[in-house]
Amino acid sequence: MQNNIYKTKDSLVIEIPLISKRNDVYDEDLDKDMDNIIGMIDKRNDTMGFSYVIDMSYKGKSDQFTDFFYKHFGNEDDFKELCKSLSIDIIYI
């Protein structure tokens, strides 16, 4: 999975795939899509943003998540609305 990074006249644009494939080293025939991005709201310190989803199904575990690759500095309601408009799920930690 490769991100496309480029600039327009006034913006830096980073394209990140919303969907990736599950990768099971024990089952090469597995061809299942998964979300690549998750909205994360950290209630411990009132931060929110987007994180990558890490596939852990090959170990029989729930998916894990990276730290934020993008932090949202608006309020929680705005972030929830943004995630809804982008069809991105939200988790709370």
Q: Is residue 13 assigned to a domain?
A: no
User: Based on the structure, what is the number of domains in the chain?
Assistant: 1
52: in domain = yes
- Residue 8 domain-assigned? no
In a domain, 3, yes or no: no
In a domain, 57, yes or no: yes
Is residue 30 situated within a structural domain?
yes
User: Cα separation of 64 and 77, whole Å?
Assistant: 24
pTM of the model: 0.84
The answer to whether 37 and 87 are in contact (CB under 8 A) is: no
31-71 confidence digits (pLDDT tens): 789 999 999 999 999 999 999 999 888 778 889 999 999 99
For 22-76, the DSSP string reads ---TT-TT---EEESEEEEEETTTTEEEEEEEE--GGGT---EEEEEEEEE-S-H
* Domain containing residue 48: 18-92
In a domain, 25, yes or no: yes
pLDDT digits (tens, 9 = 90+) for 14-35: 999 999 888 766 666 667 899 9
Q: Which one is predicted more confidently, 13 or 58?
A: 13
- Domain membership of residue 70 (yes or no) is yes
Alpha-carbon distance 72 to 93, whole Å? 16
Give the tokens for residue 6. Answer: 């480029």
